[in-house]
Structure 1
Amino acid sequence: MQIKDILTIVALCLLGLVGPVWGAEVRGSAGCVSCHDKDDLPDMSGTAHAEAPTTKPPMADAAAALAKRAMGDSSNPRSSTCVDCHGPSEAHSDDSADDSSKTKERAPPDVTFGKVFGKVSTIPAAQRSRVCESCHDKDAKRALWLGSQHQAADIACDSCHQVHTPRDKVLKKITQTEMCYACHKEQRAQMNKPSRHPVPEGKMGCTDCHNVHGSAGAKLTKRNGTNDTCYTCHAEKRGPFVRQHDPVAEDCSNCHNSHGSVVPGMLKVRAPMLCQQCHTPHTAGGVGAVGGQSGVYGLAAPGQTTALITATTGGKNVVNLWQGRSCMNCHTQVHGSNNPSTTNATPQRLMR
């Protein structure tokens, strides 16, 4: 080697652009897996971080190092992937004392991650999440994380995600709900009611309707509103209709409990009681409407709807309730209709 080349290397070392190879310590993934082998960590080779379609998946070198150790290859690759998330962790990797025993008391890494809702780690949730955000801040699904309900509640990414295992529960619908139910116990009870979405069967997951990383809509809905989220599956309810049902156009949750109900159709209350929260029951005068609109029936109401209207019933029709009838026996198109009824002289709404 010529003296010119030697001087160039020395100059670069002084500038901090390169390090002397002969003085390099085994750090990064290679240094980590010298202690943390497959006895400590699940197989990382099948994780999204090890196989992500990027130029440098953050765990690829660590997974390769573990694989080489398993095959008896001691030439672990040098990589900084572990320290990208856990920090340099100089105190943790200090080998000045005898480290032949894995039980030797060591300082923890600079950044530690809790396995279950951040209870293990003492690092603030915001700091742990910032590690993930250094890569995962370019995805539209996570663009609204800051200020979201979960972020405001001091939930960190590792509160739900497990990154060292290929079996991250939140990534599969059949196991995803286990993580959500740990906090959302009321929704767990509702999901076990007879009228519900097929979530317990694994055909749907919480993330089919919710964007847990943040949303412009209320309640972390995937779309900007409850209705738009429901319309992704229930497109036939979208309209527009000639005769619009205002509560439906406003919010599906006015009538439905999307997590589950004891009433068919996931209705909050059985009809006709549900309808009567807005509409007064039919009376002899036919006035039963919201905001002064005319009632469903005209002044000449059919006899069967007025037969039991007496002073003892307060002037209200109770025959439908007594006979187990529902408003939807006649008003079959409660989400909106384009055609008037053909059974009444005066065109009526939401009947066909």
Structure 2
Amino acid sequence: MMMTKRIFQLLTLSVTLCLSLASVAAWDELSEEELERQLVEKFEKGEYSKKGADNCLTCHRKDAKVMALFDGVHGRSNQPGSPMAGLQCEACHGPMGKHNRGGKEPMIAFGPDSKLSAESQNSVCLGCHTDSRQQSWHASIHNVEEVTCAECHEVHAKHDPTQNQLTINDTCTGCHTEQKSMMNMRSSHPLKWNRMTCIDCHSPHGSPSEHALVKSDVNQTCYSCHAEKRGPFLWEHEPVTESCVNCHNPHGSVNENMVHYRAPQLCQQCHAEDGHANRVVQRADQDAFGAGQSCMNCHSQVHGSNHPVGAKLQR
């Protein structure tokens, strides 16, 4: 009799386990629309766990990535505004409902393996992160290209790589590979040595400026460091006042001073019909128009001049 009862218990347990596995499989097989529909229903019910993270850790405690949350700012229960100070795990992953009963109900997942849309994933983050740095997010290229917050930020970590000057450039260049190659050219900003970062010039969450610049335009961004080029000058060089990138590639170049072309070719982009400026250089080592700094042998003040006779930017 005892043996029969034991067999019955084992069969019941097996059936329950199979049903649980089937539920998990069904969850994995849900379409994006169905998954979001089920999650919306869970939020409407609002069945949050009374035990909070303790309930979640019953199953997820052995996952090192999960436990790493408590090393970072999101895992501090004594810090106001932190998820762990409120609804804990469910603050981001949604109400538990009956999820812990064999995984019958889906939870919000983040990252490349999540079936949720970028908009849905990011809406969770933006529910708390509402400061001025995110005010231009919806019009930003990252949002338009459906980049998720989790692709750049690590919540379950002691240190978010986007908050560390030594790792933020690696995060950006993980996608922006063309700019990474420019950063390693012979003439570049000190980005490859992490002495400056991408966010010194760009706002990853978007800005009202072109190219998500932190300042109103290219020149104002450059002047943040290169104040001596700001002017105003008595004699101004038109392409300089228009935009620094007319002559310079801010991410790097094979030419000195990050210019697009070497002089005189750089100057000839505009001065092609200006007398000696378009002269063909035969022997650069013996020619004032091609040796050394070429045009800048004479026109040394290319960013502008305040000299009374500096109309040709020579003084």
TM over 0.5, shorter chain: yes
Aligned pair count reads: 264
List gaps (5 residues or longer) in structure 2. 1-47
In structure 1, distance between residues paired with 2:49 and 2:126: 29
Report what 1:264 is aligned to.
Answer: 256
Q: Is the 8 A contact 1:47 1:163 kept in 2?
A: yes
Report what 2:82 is aligned to.
Answer: 57
Report what 1:335 is aligned to.
Answer: 303
Report what 2:58 is aligned to.
Answer: 34
Which structure has the higher relative contact order (CA within 8 Å, separation 6+)? 2
In structure 2, distance between residues paired with 1:253 and 1:92: 54
Change (3 A) 1:268 1:157: same
Report what 1:113 is aligned to.
Answer: 110
Structure-to-structure mapping, 1:1-352, within 5 angstroms: 26-37=50-61, 39-40=63-64, 41-51=66-76, 55-59=80-84, 61=85, 80-94=87-101, 106=103, 109-114=106-111, 119-137=112-130, 139-280=131-272, 282-283=274-275, 319-341=287-309, 348-352=311-315
In structure 2, distance between residues paired with 1:272 and 1:27: 73
TM-score normalised by length of structure 1: 0.68
Provide the secondary structure at the position in 2 that maps to 1:136.
Answer: coil
Provide the secondary structure at the position in 2 that maps to 1:328.
Answer: helix
Structure showing the higher helix proportion among its residues:
2
Q: Is the 8 A contact 2:49 2:97 kept in 1?
A: no
Larger-gyration structure (1/2): 1
In structure 1, distance between residues paired with 2:62 and 2:201: 37
In structure 2, distance between residues paired with 1:34 and 1:212: 37
The Cα offsets for residues 230-271 of structure 1, whole Å up to 9 and x where unpaired, read as: 111111111111111111111111111000101111111111
Q: Which amino acid aligns with 1:136?
A: H
TM-score normalised by length of structure 2: 0.76
In structure 1, distance between residues paired with 2:77 and 2:295: 54
Q: Is the 8 A contact 1:197 1:258 kept in 2?
A: yes
In structure 2, distance between residues paired with 1:111 and 1:25: 15
Per-residue deviation, 1:53: 9.2
Identity of aligned residues (%): 40
